[in-house]
């Protein structure tokens, strides 16, 4: 079996973050948060490295990573599109917006486009129910989004990509 | 004491008793599925997840799981109201709706707790069919994992993490997609799994089973060009009978030998013989290291650890690679047997090793993995060709229409069939070290043992220690069974806190009698106690009870090996270990 | 001279509409015009009236501007601040009288509200501890530490009748008392800020708008139960709340209101933040505790309750944000004052996130016992677009859908349960005639399915089966037997599930089955969706008589399923149509028929 090695900087990062939490296994979720914040995702070899530092089985870490929806093992796209499917957005057509994004980007929820530009997810209530249905891309919040606006929103970022 | 009423019966039970336990006391058998408690062994699984054991408690809004609800004064409990029965059946139907209906062809058929529960609750139809989980089957040399059949009872996870501290299995994902799996859904073969098999020993369904090799045995026996030799491990004889309706603890050695002969094996030998051989090698190694140590040789490390358990070997190779020079280099009895069979015996019989098939009957699934390790192959030919578990042997006997109960008692064949009481003890926790002490004492002191039984080494405590007086020299002996207990000992050694001279370690709770390949105990620890008792009785009945007095062993050394730890012995009976940390 | 304050709402709704840019513009204007000494611009927490955002309030005259765009900053500064003339066009118009309303207290949306938990939201600068202190902040903890014994404080909380606002409604004082009585040298106070209800954002708003109220309450709780350590378990997706909370914690430490020897009384209390990672089940306290311990957020059977055996096996008191936010007020104003508000068994107020098909979407706080009608019609301003009210969903995935006949039910814990719903954390979604109740039930089940931890069989598999049945029904393939099974299976899941999530997850199904049975039957027997929402049961066609050939539908169709030339009758190709409904909503001549 070939084993993917963790890059040296990533390994140093794992060690320093774990050390900051005194290699305490109870801090696992905080540690994973920090690592994902720094590296964008939590690949298998990274989890193994954390397991090594905290002296816990890697299966436990994978059990945790795969339990929480916030954690991801796959890199996310440059622009992370989140369609709110909180109840308010749902009853105001959030699902249609999500469908349109899926159709236009040709990916499923939770996936990233091949070029790595967009990833698509749905979220539950951002608290902007007055603007339902809501879509967020990074920090930006789009309110009262209709399916026909979807193309324009995507183009906005594609143009940004092309400079 | 707390007084409660269950199904109109009033019982008084101590505080802290669960409804399930109280009901048992009142003669009420509440069905359970995920719950498992091995009394006296400190092993308990009660996640409260299957919800089969729910009962109605007056004044409570919802049904409550009896396995994890402690009794309270004046509780009124109904275990079989319409509401309870309906709920129980519906929940079981739900579980079955996400379980393949493959009972007819499932390895666990007849031994499956889920199947039994469906029968007990009278499920005739599944009303809530829907999507079923679909996972890949994980085939390893020893264990087959079929996650489609997992019902999330979490017993295996508890065994793997809390009892064995191997930590390979964990619940992963969540909701309908949750399942117990190794990290990243990797195969067991690519994990730190020791193949101890305790996961499958407790799995209520066919989600975890051993690799079935009975057909390979039938094929080998049918091959006229092959000489097929079988060896049977000590713990097998104390449990095989259970598969044929005998009470737990019934020793069926003679009938087993007769059955093996009727199956068509050319030679029926005893792993106990190899166990005696192990004692010669390991005991001598112990004394050699001990005496050097006592003389102040700083290069010698103590304690010496036993090495007959393959799961234990794989455990320390993964988890404590820096200690790989501490365990005895002696191979396990299975591998010693294979090695001797394909050299000494093959020579005697004039058979080429390639035409000899060595089959082992083991209480263990890790032995299936062990036999396949590269170092136990000579020119591409393995020392041991096929390993069957006790359960597989029972299936094979039934497959070949043999009624074990009516068979006469027969003896093992010569020259690898004679064994001593010491060899038999290998099947239980404390047995290997007791056998070693019997021999080492006499060799070291040159005196006859004042007593043969070492009660201080016996028992079911997970970790035991004893001081054995070697005619003035006090030896500190440690005994651990269950890898979690072994881990504690190893951590002490790592930190230089260990004061033991010798330690026996067996992976499975109870030792080999509780091995992953034994007839299922279904959570009944009494069965293990009875098997243990049976082995001690078997020892008592033997005329020769010390390994170094086994005449065939003495003959083997005289004719072939020379002496313990000779060059030939080293080549054939010893091994080395590998750092598997990076794997 | 009183300093003029410009409060800009920093709630998520307003921020989504560029309130941050608005604040910057205000600041630039103030700077440019040299008003920095007289005027201060403050980003506050949520004002509540999200529908009309971005919102701006000018103090001291209390003028309330609505729908203010960043470009309006200059005008407000020059007109209102400099010339003391109100910017009429940005004032709220009362929908009834059509008159401009200057202050929030005269708006129907605010008139009937009673703010305890939200008392400081939109009123103070959450980043400034001084402003919290100026409004009696930290006086409650001072009072407790210097005047009351822990028992006395617990007695006050018990007498106030405060019940847990996270959903369960367990009496808070009693919980504190049990934790106090659990003997252990180490205990913990945990604040559950892992708001997961897909239609609720009150905890986030409180933490963003008034973080000190929670910090103060946690310290009071610590004093009562004998804990010197508090933990706030907060959703990682709430960056602003986390930022404000961190700042507030630092300020409290710097001011000596947290840490060692608080106010010289010898009482020590510190607070740490722990992050949730996206699991609704962690709202359940045992799951939350496991998550804080670095494990999968799987609940465990109670007892033992966390008050006896909680975080790291130590006695732990878990309350949610809104519950804590009530505490300082109860201490300051007394148990009698608090218990005079509300109904017999539910005291005080409740915050609701009012949303859905309603005119005034927003965050509101009303006394317990307020009726749904008052909330929906008086505060909420009625149903959007003049449509007909159909149902109101309370309690999120754990709650139920209540029909018109419940409109006059006074809202409290017990009445909602009796009606087949739940208080939950306070999501309140209003549904109109266009909403399909079977689809709504399916929506919630879909949520539960995503969020079930998988530990117990009834929740793990049962909810999946419920969802599949609902899916079957909305696709027109359901049978009457399915309806019977839906109900019986729901009841078993409720009766046998391990934790509150599973025990309440069938509520959306059961309540819609009870209150909207006819809709289910229509899907099953007539294969029709009365609300014309279920895609498999509807077709879009063009009414030839009405089509003018304006091409609007043709141009808007995302999948080119409509053909037709200008001024000629258009046609919808059923094989291509994805039933998104765009043509229907775009057509100006009502020429699209859904059947």
Residue-wise pLDDT tens digits, C157-180: 999 999 999 877 899 999 999 999
User: How much is the ipTM here?
Assistant: 0.93
> What percentage of residues in chain B have a pLDDT greater than 90?
86
C468: distance to nearest CA of chain B, Å?
7
Q: Which of C50, C276, C294 sits opposite A26 (nearest CB)?
A: C294
Indicate yes or no: CB of B172 within 8 angstroms of CB of A1.
no
User: How confident is the model at residue C238, as a pLDDT?
Assistant: 86
| Nearest-angstrom CA–CA distance, B421 and B428 | 12
User: How confident is the model at residue A24, as a pLDDT?
Assistant: 96
C-contacting residues of B 110-139, CB under 8 Å?
A: 127-128, 130-131
Give me the active site residues of B, please. Answer: 282, 285, 308, 328, 367, 370, 375, 512
Indicate yes or no: CB of B172 within 8 angstroms of CB of A57.
no
Q: Which residues of A touch B (CB under 8 A)?
A: 1, 3, 44, 47-48, 56-63, 66-67
Q: Which of C279, C298, C454 sits opposite B176 (nearest CB)?
A: C454
Indicate yes or no: CB of B178 within 8 angstroms of CB of C453.
yes
Q: Which of A30, A60, A91 sits opposite C435 (nearest CB)?
A: A91
pLDDT in tens, B55-74: 999 999 999 999 999 999 99
> Do residues C382 and C412 make contact, with C-beta atoms less than 8 angstroms apart?
no
**What class does CATH assign to B279-331+419-573?**
alpha beta
If you write DSSP's letter for every residue of B276-308 in order, what string do you get? HHHHHHHHHHHHHHHHHHHTT-TT----EE---
Q: Which of C296, C451, C462 sits opposite B94 (nearest CB)?
A: C462
So where are chain B's domains?
A: 2-120, 279-331+419-573
Residue of C66, C196, C277 to mutate, interface with A, max A Cβ within 10 Å: C277
How confident is residue A4, by pLDDT bands cut at 50, 70 and 90? low
Within this chain, do residues A126 and A85 fall inside the same structural domain, yes or no?
A: yes
Size of interface A-B (CB pairs under 8 A): 43
Higher pLDDT pick, B123 / C557: B123
Residue of C580, C584, C585, C587 to mutate, interface with A, max A Cβ within 10 Å: C580
* CA nearest to B229, candidates B337, B378, B363: B337
How confident is residue B84, by pLDDT bands cut at 50, 70 and 90? very high
Which of these CATH numbers, 1.10.3720.10, 1.10.1060.10, 3.40.50.1980, 1.20.1440.230, describes C437-526?
A: 1.20.1440.230
Contacts of B65 in chain C (CB under 8 A): 301, 498
Indicate yes or no: CB of B49 within 8 angstroms of CB of C488.
no
User: How confident is the model at residue B574, as a pLDDT?
Assistant: 95
User: How confident is the model at residue A1, as a pLDDT?
Assistant: 36
Q: Which of A3, A59, A61 sits opposite B169 (nearest CB)?
A: A59
Element (H, E) at B464: strand B463-470
> Do residues B33 and B204 make contact, with C-beta atoms less than 8 angstroms apart?
yes
Is there a domain that residue A57 lies in? yes
Cβ neighbors of C203 (< 8 A, separation 6 or more) are C193, C195, C320, C321, C322, C425
Within this chain, do residues A130 and A152 fall inside the same structural domain, yes or no?
A: yes
| Nearest-angstrom CA–CA distance, B158 and B167 | 9
Q: Which fold does the domain C349-432 belong to in CATH?
A: Ubiquitin-like (UB roll) (3.10.20)
Q: Which residues of B touch A (CB under 8 A)?
A: 161, 166-174, 181-184, 190-192, 582-583
Within this chain, do residues A107 and A38 fall inside the same structural domain, yes or no?
A: no
| Nearest-angstrom CA–CA distance, B461 and B447 | 31
Cβ neighbors of C405 (< 8 A, separation 6 or more) are C515
B84: distance to nearest CA of chain C, Å?
9
Indicate yes or no: CB of C454 within 8 angstroms of CB of B90.
no
Q: Which of A1, A44, A60 sits opposite B167 (nearest CB)?
A: A60
Is there a domain that residue A35 lies in? yes
Contacts of B68 in chain C (CB under 8 A): 301
Residue of B172, B176, B194 to mutate, interface with A, max A Cβ within 10 Å: B172
B156: distance to nearest CA of chain C, Å?
14
Q: How many CB atoms lie within 10 A of CB B66?
A: 28
The full 3-state SS of C132-179, as one line of letters, equals HHHCCCCHHHHHHHHHCCHHHHHHHHHHHCCECCCCCCCEHHHHHHHH
pLDDT in tens, B471-509: 888 899 999 999 999 999 899 888 888 889 999 999 999
So where are chain C's domains?
A: 4-106, 129-338, 349-432, 437-526, 539-594
Which of these CATH numbers, 3.40.30.10, 3.40.228.10, 3.30.310.80, 3.30.360.10, describes C4-106?
A: 3.40.30.10
C-contacting residues of A 60-119, CB under 8 Å?
A: 60, 63-64, 67-71, 85-88, 90-93, 96, 99-100, 103
Residue found by looking up tokens 């062993």 in the block: B553
Q: Please name the residue of chain C whose CA is at the shortest distance from the CA of residue A133.
A: C356
User: How confident is the model at residue A126, as a pLDDT?
Assistant: 81
Question: Is the domain covering C539-594 a CATH 3.30.230.80 domain?
Answer: no
**Is A125 part of the contact surface with chain C (CB cutoff 8 Å)?**
yes
Which of these CATH numbers, 3.50.50.60, 3.10.20.740, 2.40.50.140, 3.40.50.620, describes B2-120?
A: 3.10.20.740
Contacts of B127 in chain C (CB under 8 A): 485
Indicate yes or no: CB of A1 within 8 angstroms of CB of B190.
yes
**Is C108 part of the contact surface with chain B (CB cutoff 8 Å)?**
no
Contacts of A29 in chain C (CB under 8 A): 274-275, 277, 291-292, 294
Given strand B386-389, what is the order of strands in its sheet?
B267-270, B227-232, B356-362, B386-389
Bridge partners, B465 (sequence order): B478
How confident is residue A158, by pLDDT bands cut at 50, 70 and 90? very high
Within this chain, do residues A83 and A131 fall inside the same structural domain, yes or no?
A: yes
B190: distance to nearest CA of chain A, Å?
8
What domain range includes position A35? 8-65
Higher pLDDT pick, B573 / C556: B573
| Nearest-angstrom CA–CA distance, B239 and C253 | 67
Q: Please name the residue of chain B whose CA is at the shortest distance from the CA of residue C299.
A: B47
**Predicted structure pTM score:** 0.94
Number of domains making up chain A: 2
Within this chain, do residues A106 and A147 fall inside the same structural domain, yes or no?
A: yes
Binding partners of C (≥3 Cβ pairs within 8 A): A, B
* CA nearest to B481, candidates B518, B528, B437: B528
User: How confident is the model at residue A2, as a pLDDT?
Assistant: 39
Residue of B175, B179, B181, B183 to mutate, interface with C, max C Cβ within 10 Å: B175
Within this chain, do residues A50 and A117 fall inside the same structural domain, yes or no?
A: no
Residue of A6, A54, A63, A73 to mutate, interface with B, max B Cβ within 10 Å: A63
Contacts of B582 in chain A (CB under 8 A): 3
Q: Would you call A115 exposed, middle or buried from its count of C-beta atoms within 10 A (0-12, 13-18, 19+)?
A: exposed
**Is B15 part of the contact surface with chain C (CB cutoff 8 Å)?**
no
Contacts of A74 in chain B (CB under 8 A): none
| Nearest-angstrom CA–CA distance, C587 and C584 | 6
Indicate yes or no: CB of A130 within 8 angstroms of CB of C362.
yes
Q: Please name the residue of chain A whose CA is at the shortest distance from the CA of residue C46.
A: A127
C-contacting residues of A 16-55, CB under 8 Å?
A: 25-30, 32-33
Q: Which fold does the domain C129-338 belong to in CATH?
A: Rossmann fold (3.40.50)
Q: How many CB atoms lie within 10 A of CB C380?
A: 29
If you write DSSP's letter for every residue of C345-390 in order, what string do you get? SSBSEEEEEEEESBSS-EEEEEETT-BHHIIIIIIS-SBGGGPPEE
Within this chain, do residues A91 and A55 fall inside the same structural domain, yes or no?
A: no
| Nearest-angstrom CA–CA distance, C153 and C332 | 11
Q: What is the pLDDT tens value at each position of chain C, 595 positions in all?
A: 468 999 999 888 898 888 999 999 999 999 999 999 999 999 998 999 998 989 999 988 899 999 999 999 999 999 999 999 999 999 999 988 999 999 999 999 999 999 999 999 988 999 999 999 999 999 999 999 999 999 999 999 999 999 999 877 899 999 999 999 999 999 999 999 998 888 888 999 999 999 999 999 999 999 999 999 999 999 888 888 999 999 999 999 999 999 999 999 999 999 999 999 999 999 999 999 999 999 999 999 998 999 999 999 999 999 999 999 999 999 999 999 999 999 999 999 999 999 999 999 999 999 999 999 999 999 999 999 999 999 999 998 989 999 999 999 999 999 999 998 988 888 999 999 999 999 999 999 999 999 999 999 999 999 999 999 999 999 999 999 999 999 999 999 999 999 999 999 999 999 999 999 999 999 999 999 999 999 999 999 999 999 999 999 998 888 889 998 888 999 999 999 988 888 888 889 989 999 8
């Amino acid at each position: 079996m070939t084993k993917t090695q963790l890059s040296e900087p990533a390994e140093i990062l794992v060690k320093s973050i774990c050390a900051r939490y005194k290699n305490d296994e109870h801090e696992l979720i905080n540690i994973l948060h920090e690592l994902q914040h720094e590296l964008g995702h939590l690949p298998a070899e990274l989890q193994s490295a954390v397991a090594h530092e905290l002296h816990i089985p890697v299966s436990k870490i994978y059990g945790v990573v795969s339990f929480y929806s916030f954690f991801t093992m796959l890199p996310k796209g440059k622009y992370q599109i989140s369609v709110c499917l909180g109840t308010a957005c749902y009853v105001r057509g959030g699902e249609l917006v999500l469908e349109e994004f899926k159709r236009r980007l040709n990916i499923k929820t939770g996936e990233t486009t091949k070029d790595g530009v967009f990833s698509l997810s749905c979220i539950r209530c951002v608290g902007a129910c007055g603007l339902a249905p809501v879509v967020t891309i990074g920090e930006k919040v789009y309110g009262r989004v209709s399916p026909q606006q979807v193309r324009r929103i995507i183009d906005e970022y594609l143009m940004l990509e092309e400079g | 004491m707390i007084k409660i009423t269950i199904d109109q019966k009033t019982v008084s039970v101590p505080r802290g008793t669960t409804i399930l336990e109280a009901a048992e006391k009142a003669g009420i058998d509440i069905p359970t599925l995920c719950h498992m408690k091995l009394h006296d062994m400190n092993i308990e699984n009660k996640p409260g997840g299957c919800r089969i054991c729910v009962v109605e408690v007056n004044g409570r809004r919802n049904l409550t799981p009896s396995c994890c609800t402690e009794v309270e004064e004046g509780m009124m409990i109904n275990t079989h109201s319409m509401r309870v029965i309906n709920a129980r059946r519906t929940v079981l139907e739900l579980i079955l709706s996400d379980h393949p209906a493959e009972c007819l062809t499932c390895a666990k058929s007849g031994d499956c707790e889920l199947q039994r529960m469906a029968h007990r609750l009278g499920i005739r139809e599944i009303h809530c069919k829907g999507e079923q989980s679909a996972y890949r089957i994980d085939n390893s040399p020893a264990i087959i994992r079929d996650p489609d059949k997992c019902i999330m009872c979490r017993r295996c996870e508890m065994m793997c993490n809390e009892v064995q501290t191997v930590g390979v299995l964990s619940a992963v994902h969540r909701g309908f997609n949750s399942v117990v799996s190794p990290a990243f859904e990797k195969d067991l073969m690519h994990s730190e799994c020791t193949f101890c098999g305790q996961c499958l020993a407790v799995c209520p369904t066919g989600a975890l089973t051993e690799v079935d090799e009975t057909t390979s045995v039938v094929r080998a026996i049918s091959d006229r060009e092959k000489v097929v030799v079988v060896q049977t491990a000590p713990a097998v004889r104390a449990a095989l009978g259970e598969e044929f309706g005998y009470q737990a603890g019934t020793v069926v050695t003679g009938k087993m030998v007769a059955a093996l002969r009727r199956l068509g094996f050319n030679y029926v030998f005893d792993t106990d013989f190899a166990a005696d051989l192990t004692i010669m090698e390991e005991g001598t190694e112990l004394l050699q290291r001990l005496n050097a140590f006592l003389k102040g040789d700083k290069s010698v490390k103590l304690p010496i650890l036993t090495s007959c358990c393959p799961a234990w070997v794989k455990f320390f190779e993964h988890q404590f690679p820096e200690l790989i020079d501490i365990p005895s280099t002696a191979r396990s009895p299975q591998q010693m047997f294979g090695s001797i069979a394909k050299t000494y015996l093959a020579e005697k019989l004039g058979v080429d090793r390639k035409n000899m098939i060595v089959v082992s009957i083991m209480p263990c699934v890790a032995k299936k993995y062990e036999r396949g390790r590269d170092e136990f192959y000579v020119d591409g030919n393995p020392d041991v060709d096929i390993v069957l578990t006790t359960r597989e042997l029972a299936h094979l006997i039934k497959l070949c229409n043999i009624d074990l109960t009516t068979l006469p008692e027969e003896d093992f064949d010569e020259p690898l069939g004679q064994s001593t009481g010491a060899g038999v003890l290998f099947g239980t926790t404390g047995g290997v070290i007791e056998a070693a002490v019997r021999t080492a004492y006499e060799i070291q002191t040159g005196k006859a043992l004042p007593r043969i039984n070492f009660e201080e080494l016996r028992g079911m405590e997970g970790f035991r220690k004893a001081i054995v007086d070697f005619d003035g020299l006090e030896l500190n002996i440690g005994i651990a069974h269950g890898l979690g207990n072994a881990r504690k000992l190893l951590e002490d050694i790592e930190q230089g806190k260990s004061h033991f001279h010798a330690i026996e370690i067996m992976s499975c709770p109870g030792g080999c009698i509780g091995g992953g390949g034994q007839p299922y105990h279904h959570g009944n620890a009494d069965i293990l106690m009875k098997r243990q008792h049976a082995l001690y009785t078997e020892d008592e009945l033997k005329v020769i009870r010390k390994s170094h007095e086994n005449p065939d062993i003495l003959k083997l050394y005289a004719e072939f090996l020379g002496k313990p730890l000779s060059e030939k012995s080293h080549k054939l009976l010893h091994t080395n270990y590998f750092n598997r940390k990076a794997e | 001279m009183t300093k003029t304050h410009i409060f800009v709402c920093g709630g998520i709704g307003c921020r989504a509409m560029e309130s941050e840019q608005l604040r910057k513009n205000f600041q630039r204007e103030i700077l440019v015009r040299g008003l920095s000494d007289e005027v201060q611009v403050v980003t506050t927490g949520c004002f509540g009236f999200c529908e009309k955002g971005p919102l701006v309030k000018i103090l001291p005259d209390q003028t309330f501007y609505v729908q203010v765009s960043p470009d309006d900053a200059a005008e407000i500064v020059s007109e209102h601040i400099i010339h003391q003339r109100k910017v009429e066009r940005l004032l709220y118009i009362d929908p009834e009288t059509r008159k401009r309303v200057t202050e929030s207290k005269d708006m129907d949306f605010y008139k009937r509200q009673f703010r305890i938990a939200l008392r400081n939201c939109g009123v103070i600068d959450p980043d400034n501890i001084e402003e919290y202190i100026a409004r009696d902040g930290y006086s409650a903890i001072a009072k407790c530490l210097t005047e009351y014994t822990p028992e006395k404080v617990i007695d006050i909380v018990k007498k106030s009748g405060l019940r847990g606002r996270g959903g369960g409604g367990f009496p808070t004082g009693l919980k504190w008392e049990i934790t106090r009585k659990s003997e252990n040298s180490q205990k913990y106070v945990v604040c559950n800020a892992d708001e997961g209800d897909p239609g609720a954002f009150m905890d986030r708003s409180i933490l963003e708008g008034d973080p000190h109220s929670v910090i103060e309450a946690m310290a009071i709780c610590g004093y009562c139960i004998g804990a010197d350590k508090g933990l706030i378990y907060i959703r990682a997706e709430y960056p602003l709340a986390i930022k404000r909370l961190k700042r507030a914690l630092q300020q409290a430490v710097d001011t000596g209101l947290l840490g060692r020897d608080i106010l010289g009384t010898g009482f020590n209390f510190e607070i740490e933040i722990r992050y949730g990672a996206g699991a609704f089940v962690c709202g359940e306290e045992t799951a939350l505790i496991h998550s804080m311990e670095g494990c999968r957020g799987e609940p465990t059977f109670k007892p033992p309750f966390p008050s006896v055996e909680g975080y790291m096996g130590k006695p732990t008191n878990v309350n949610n944000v809104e519950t804590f936010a009530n505490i300082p007020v109860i201490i300051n104003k007394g148990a009698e004052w608090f218990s005079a508000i509300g109904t017999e068994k539910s005291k005080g107020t409740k915050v609701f996130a009012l949303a859905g098909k309603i005119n005034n979407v927003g965050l509101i706080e009303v006394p317990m016992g307020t009726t749904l009608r008052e909330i929906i019609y008086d505060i909420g301003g009625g149903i959007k677009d003049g449509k007909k009210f159909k149902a109101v969903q309370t309690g999120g995935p754990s709650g139920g859908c209540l029909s018109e006949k419940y409109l006059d039910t006074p809202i409290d814990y017990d009445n909602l349960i009796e009606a087949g719903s739940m208080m939950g954390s306070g999501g309140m979604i209003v549904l109109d005639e266009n909403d399909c109740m079977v689809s709504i039930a399916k929506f919630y089940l879909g949520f539960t399915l995503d969020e079930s931890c998988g530990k117990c069989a009834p929740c793990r598999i049962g909810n999946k089966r419920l969802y599949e049945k609902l899916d079957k029904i909305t696709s027109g393939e359901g049978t009457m037997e399915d309806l019977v099974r839906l109900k019986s299976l729901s009841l078993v899941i409720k009766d046998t599930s391990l934790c509150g999530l599973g025990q309440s997850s069938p509520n959306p199904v059961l309540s819609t089955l009870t209150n909207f049975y006819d809709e289910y039957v229509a899907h099953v027997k007539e294969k029709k969706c009365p609300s014309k929402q279920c895609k498999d049961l509807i077709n879009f066609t063009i009414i030839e008589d009405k089509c003018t050939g304006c091409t609007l539908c043709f141009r808007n169709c995302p999948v080119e399923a409509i053909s037709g030339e200008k001024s000629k009758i258009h046609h919808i190709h059923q094989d291509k149509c994805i039933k998104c409904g765009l043509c229907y909503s775009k057509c100006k001549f009502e020429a699209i028929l859904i059947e």
